[in-house]
Amino acid sequence: MQGKIALEEHFAIDDTLMDSKGFFPDDVWVEVRARVLDIHGRRVRLMDEFGIETMVLSLNAPAIQAIPDAKKANDIARKANDYLADAVRKQPDRFRALAALPLQDPDLAAKELQRCVKDLGMVGALANGFSQVGDTNTIAYYDQKQYWPFWAVQEQLDVPFYLHPRNPLPQHAKIYEGHGWLLGPTWAFGQETAVHALRLMGSGLFDQYPKLQIILGHMGENLPFGMWRVDNTNGWIPNRHNYPAKKKIGHYFQNNFHITTSGNFSTPALLSTMMVVGSDRIMFSTDWPFENIDHAAKWFDVATISESDRQKIGRTNALRLFKLKS
């Protein structure tokens, strides 16, 4: 398929580069380092080769979210956003941008989001999971009440928010001890992000801000498969769930969330996700440079879905959500 739009595609600046190193052995890091620092070279050649018209770029992880000092986080976010905006200006027909945000301070994050959307032309924001606030051991999730004024700004600007994974802190990851292979994209990324997303759904956030649109990668971080059980656990017990939200969790998943195929190139997973949320809320992505563009594109271009769904997932859903020109 030609004209695909990919929207979980990452870059790094010198200040955040080493955040990605720990996920790769030294011999592989040489390759990944070259990939993540490149924007206009090999990346564009691969886009051309595999039918990707536009990439929506975002900063690597955990980056800003792992800087406990709010002022420093804001400074690095602004630096990364200015760098990315300049890169997009060089090839505006091929790239768009998601803002990095200093969510250690919701007011600073709201101001930076406004600057990025209104002044730099960015089409949304991406945060790498929870933020460390004040010190490395104190964390904040974005369902907490201090973030609701930030969400009001996000809704007012009418741009989506991508909730991207990060690993749990070591003190919260005892279950992985002795099994480090389960960290990162194998399992811990998805578990951490799925619980964060469920917190957002159950908090009442979307009752207060019903137009908010959140994006999850990796075919929904396993949530499509589990959503029925989330809403129907022990269905014979009255009032089993007690949370502030007014509706079933599945309602918010189907109305306030979008899903990408980043790093999960599985046709059974895609078909299952389509059955849960519909083809209008799924979008193609590769997760470059941490996954391969050719793996994503070759799979998607022949996946056993209808051509109308392929066009929606590969292109038109992203055009609509990000308000891009066709």
pLDDT in tens, 3-55: 999 999 999 999 999 999 999 999 999 999 999 999 999 999 999 999 999 99
Burial of 109 (0-12, 13-18, 19+ CB in 10 A): buried
Among residues 69, 82, 287, 309, the one annotated as catalytic is 287
Cα separation of 219 and 311, whole Å? 17
- Please tell me whether the overall predicted TM-score, pTM, comes out greater than 0.85 for this model: yes
Q: Which amino acid is at 125?
A: A
Model confidence over 89-102: pLDDT tens digits?
A: 999 999 999 999 99
In this structure, are residues 122 and 115 in contact, taking their beta carbons and an 8 Å threshold? no
CATH number listed for the domain at residues 4-322: 3.20.20.140
pLDDT tens, residue by residue, 129-147: 999 999 999 999 999 999 9
What confidence tier does 64 reach under pLDDT thresholds 50, 70, 90? very high
Alpha-carbon Rg for the chain, nearest whole angstrom, is 19
pLDDT tens digits for 169-194? 999 999 999 999 999 999 999 999 99
Q: For 196-235, how does the pLDDT look when each residue is reduced to its tens digit (9 = 90+)?
A: 999 999 999 999 999 999 999 999 999 999 999 999 998 8
Helix, strand, or coil (residue 293): helix
All structural domains of the chain with their residue ranges: 4-322
Per the annotation, the verdict on 287 as an active-site residue is yes
State the Cα–Cα distance between residues 83 and 13, nearest whole angstrom: 8
Specify the length of the chain in residues. Answer: 326
| Contact status, residue 152 vs residue 106, Cβ threshold 8 Å | no
Distance CA 164, CA 271 (A): 22
pLDDT at res. 115: 98
